[in-house]
Amino acid sequence: MSDPPPPPSLVVPARRAPRWIWLVPLAALAVAIALGASRLLGGGPRIAISFPDGHGIKAGDPLRCRGIQVGQVEAVVVDGGGEGVRLEVRLDAGAERLAVAGSRFWIVRPTVRLSGITGLDTITGPRYLDVLPGPEDAARQERFVGLDEPPVLRDEEPGGLEIALTGSRRAGLVAGAPVSYRQVRVGTIASVGLAADARSVEVRAYVRPAYRGLVRDNTRFWVVSGTGVSVGLSGVRIDVDSLAALLEGGVALATPDQPGRPVGTGHRFELAPRAEEEWLAWRPALPVGGHLLPAGLAPPGLLRAAARRPGGRLFARTRRADGWLLPVAGGALGPEELLLPEKEAELEVSGRAFPLDREPAWRGGGLARLELPLEGPRWPAERVRRPGEPEDCLLFTDAALPPLALPAARLRAEGGRWAVDASLSFDESWHGAAALARADGRLVGILLVAKGSGVLAPPP
């Protein structure tokens, strides 16, 4: 009996992978090469920054300038000798101007001080580098020494005043504490340390440009401890100057009623431990905010005014108009609705009420000039001119507020006045603002505001 034939063998043919599958890794490699090339070719210069400690920063963490990423940390290595770390940073394209002498770098991390807590965003997120750019005309530089702490004068404005204060002791002062005038912050303490001969403490203070006119050669400075305690028949009284002064101290200043000459950067003053009663009684008239005008010219001293007029019908509410008036020779100049006469109407200005019972001495273009017995300085006639073509201006209102820049490109001639571009809107608090020309500091117009739109009316 013959054996049965063997079963046929089952042969499964091998499945071939599609040829296009090999394109996937090639495409990924091409993308990686393209990204690397664009990063290499499109990026800015590479710089090195040395720090005594890395504070947890690592490769891939960003470099930021005013909250915008402008570069990236590519490597973190231990510096030669093991005494610090060196960060290799690649700047983004367009950020080359950061690689100049004078640029200051620091590592942002959570920091707790008496004045507040900073770097909270790095508690859950990565550490990052921050930078304060150097001068635009500074020389190129590739190696930097980073700051262990953020700079105190991070937002230092050009044109400020730096002075030195010399005292017998530190009195609790620290960098970053306020410099104040009448409890208004006008500057910052930049540094505190021993003098070169160790015989005194030297404080370097910075006064903002708008307030440098407050400092004269006879100005007095003293330490503000933040609290004052007095005991009387009514009990114990504790005065707190400010929260910042209470926590970290501060310096206050006063200038006599007969101010001395303005001082320059580097001028030295004695720092008293406390203020004398005479200093607190001084009330000089000093211009502030004039740093944007040509040298030696003061900004205008505008007065807030309100005109009240009867409603005209039974049970009608009193109509009110608010705005600013500029004291000039012969009275006040401002929006006409503040100064036009009307029965039983009155004008409140400088704490006084004047009846609006006579016609203005001049009227035109929405402005009027009314004779008023105002006290204080008047705007000189030689600093008034009627403009021709639109030009760059500054708008002034309250002396405590910074002026608003109004470029000529936002103005257009319209019926003898200048209409302000609709993209610039104003609230009623700007009604009556004085417009001074940037070129010579002369009055060239008064701003009239209606429904958010503004127009500059020329002066008489």
Q: Which of 55-59, 268-272, 432-436, 455-459 bottoms out in mean pLDDT, i.e. has the lowest?
A: 55-59
Domain boundary among 253, 286, 319: 286
Taken in order 146, 152, 157, 160, the sign of the CA dihedral is negative
| Average of per-residue pLDDT across 393-414 | 86
Residues 293 and 282 in one domain: no
Taken in order 276, 277, 278, 282, the sign of the CA dihedral is positive
Residues 292 and 231 in one domain: no
Residues 430 and 370 in one domain: yes
Residue at 452 is within a domain: yes
| Average of per-residue pLDDT across 372-377 | 88
Residues in the chain: 460
Residue at 360 is within a domain: yes
Residues 262 and 306 in one domain: no
Q: Which of 101-110, 151-160, 168-177, 388-397 bottoms out in mean pLDDT, i.e. has the lowest?
A: 151-160
What does the pLDDT read at residue 13?
58
**45 neighbors 91 (Cβ within 8 angstroms):** yes
Cα separations in angstroms, 172 against 166, 188, 223, 248, 274: 14, 15, 9, 7, 13
Residues 165 and 133 in one domain: no
Paired tokens of 421: 């571009």
Domain boundary among 239, 266, 286: 286
Residue at 83 is within a domain: yes
| Average of per-residue pLDDT across 105-121 | 64
- Name which of 169, 165, 185 is nearest 241 in CA terms: 185
Percent of the chain at pLDDT above 70?
Answer: 78
Residues 299 and 438 in one domain: yes
Residues 309 and 456 in one domain: yes
Query: Where in the sequence is the domain holding 131, given as residue range(s)?
Result: 43-145
What pTM, to 2 d.p., does this model score? 0.53
Q: Is 447 helix (H, G, I), strand (E, B) or coil?
A: strand
Residues 178 and 105 in one domain: no
Residues 174 and 239 in one domain: yes
Q: Which of 235-244, 367-376, 413-422 bottoms out in mean pLDDT, i.e. has the lowest?
A: 235-244
Residue at 393 is within a domain: yes
Q: What is the spatial distance between Cα 370 and Cα 348, in angstroms, rounded to a whole number?
A: 13
Q: Is the pLDDT of residue 459 over 50?
A: yes
CATH code of residue 403: 2.40.10.120
Residue at 419 is within a domain: yes
Residues 108 and 189 in one domain: no
Residues 310 and 380 in one domain: yes
**327 neighbors 378 (Cβ within 8 angstroms):** yes
| Average of per-residue pLDDT across 354-367 | 94
Q: Is the pLDDT of residue 142 over 80?
A: yes
**452 neighbors 425 (Cβ within 8 angstroms):** yes
Residue at 3 is within a domain: no
Q: What is the spatial distance between Cα 236 and Cα 238, in angstroms, rounded to a whole number?
A: 7
Q: Is the pLDDT of residue 248 over 60?
A: no
Q: Which of 108-122, 250-264, 299-313, 419-433 bottoms out in mean pLDDT, i.e. has the lowest?
A: 108-122
Residue at 458 is within a domain: yes
Residue at 460 is within a domain: yes
> What pLDDT digit, counting tens, does each position of 314-344 carry?
555 788 999 999 999 989 999 999 999 999 8
Q: What is the spatial distance between Cα 419 and Cα 447, in angstroms, rounded to a whole number?
A: 10
Domain boundary among 145, 175, 201: 145
Residues 123 and 209 in one domain: no
Q: What is the spatial distance between Cα 404 and Cα 396, in angstroms, rounded to a whole number?
A: 7
Count: domains in the chain: 3
